[in-house]
A and B are shown apart, each in its own frame.
Chain A
Amino acid sequence: MTDLDGRIERITRGLARGTSRRSLLSRFGALLVGAASVPLLPVGRASAESPRVPAPVEDVPGDAGDPTKCDYWRHCAIDGFLCACCGGSATACPPGTEMSPVTWIGTCQNPADGKEYVISYNDCCGKGFCGRCGCNRNEGDRPEYHWYRSNDINWCAGAESQAYHCSVALVVGQATEAQPER
């Protein structure tokens, strides 16, 4: 028994001489930081959408409407093919296309509550013309010299591929008044 005590004491003292409390702290710290950074490793996450594309606000009152129709309220200034007819929706690009990170932003009036909403018209890029549900409404559209309010621009200029396929109309917020003033 005394022998066991002696051995354990020797081992413990040896350990205490060979290591420092700081080294324990640093190793334990490294373990904590290491464990904490595991979730930061670059793995694909569905929630990690590109912040370049606005997050739609879709809790809009009233009848949702038919996004395959040109007269759908949020298409008030669109000029192109409606993505809802091209394998996507009013807010999502069809598979195989990329949403343009640059776009133009205007407002449309929701007939359900009579309020103006901020609409982001993003083009979906990477495939040729969709060719279905062509829609050319130009409320609030401005000439190309006022390019950030123009729907005649191929906004795929900011995407990986400049091939224009279709357009979405994202509601990104409520607007105080119609823009540009009409």
Chain B
Amino acid sequence: MTATRALAIAVGLVLGTTIASAEIPVRESFQLHCSGCHGPDGRGDGGFVPDLHALAPLLGVEGGREYLARVPGVAQAPIESDALALLLNFVLTEMSGARGFEPFAADEVERLRQRPLLDPVGARPLPR
């Protein structure tokens, strides 16, 4: 096997993985992985279940970005990290109206979700 061929296969594998796990439309991912508790519009229930339209301030405080990817509902969602990054960015931009932030990347989400928060309520950098 030549180096070029090996490289082509490696690139193909990487691309293939990305396409395979990110091919579900992000709104469908939201339906499947978020809407059961947060509701079809992401508004939460006004009490126990948080409103996904109110997350933008977390991006502006220390530890907020890490919190968003390590909170158990996100970290333990049964999808690959590239699809999870898309889903997080979708919720932040489309629902919370967050602007001008560095979108979550798959490798960042992959790294952060390895350590789900042990005490999500205590670890929240801002009150709800």
Q: Hey, which chain B residues are within 8 Å of A53, CB to CB? A: 40
Q: Count chain A residues whose beta carbon lies closer than 8 angstroms to a beta carbon of B.
A: 25
Given contacts A51-B43, A120-B36, contact A102 B28 (CB under 8 A): no
The count of A-to-B residue pairs whose CB atoms sit within 8 angstroms is 56
In the complex, whether A73 has a CB less than 8 A from a CB of chain B is no
Contact A101 B45 (CB under 8 A): yes
Contact with B along A148-182 (1 / 0, CB 8 A): 11000000001000000000000011011101100
CB distance from B74 to the nearest CB of A (A): 12
User: In the complex, which residue of chain A has the Cβ closest to the Cβ of B73?
Assistant: A148
Given A146-B78, A176-B24, also A158-B49 (CB < 8 A):
yes
Q: Could you tell me if B25 and A105 are in contact, using CB atoms closer than 8 angstroms?
A: no
The listed residue with most A CB atoms (<10 A of its CB), out of B32, B40, B73, is: B32
Are A173 and B28 in contact, with the CB atoms below 8 A?
Answer: yes
User: In the complex, how many residues of chain B place their beta carbon closer than 8 angstroms to a beta carbon of chain A?
Assistant: 19
Question: Main secondary structure on chain B at its contact with chain A?
Answer: loop
Whether B40 pairs with A175 at a CB distance below 8 angstroms is: no
Question: Could you give, for residues 104-142 of chain A, a 1 whenever the CB lies within 8 Å of some chain B CB and a 0 otherwise?
Answer: 111100000000001010000000000000000000000
Q: A64 an interface residue at 8 Å Cβ cutoff?
A: no
Whether the pair B36, A105 counts as a contact (CB closer than 8 A) is: yes
Q: How far is the CA of A180 from the CA of B49 in the complex (A)?
A: 23
A103 at the interface (CB under 8 A from B): yes
Min CB distance B31 to A, Å, is: 5
Residue of chain B at shortest CB distance from A105: B36
Q: How far is the CA of A106 from the CA of B33 in the complex (A)?
A: 9
Q: Which B residues are within 8 Å of any A CB, using their own CB?
A: 23-25, 28, 31-33, 35-37, 39-41, 43, 45, 48-49, 73, 78
- A-B contacts, 17 of them at CB < 8 A, read A51-B40, A52-B39, A52-B43, A53-B40, A105-B35, A106-B32, A118-B28, A118-B32, A120-B35, A120-B36, A146-B78, A149-B78, A172-B31, A173-B31, A175-B32, A177-B24, A180-B78
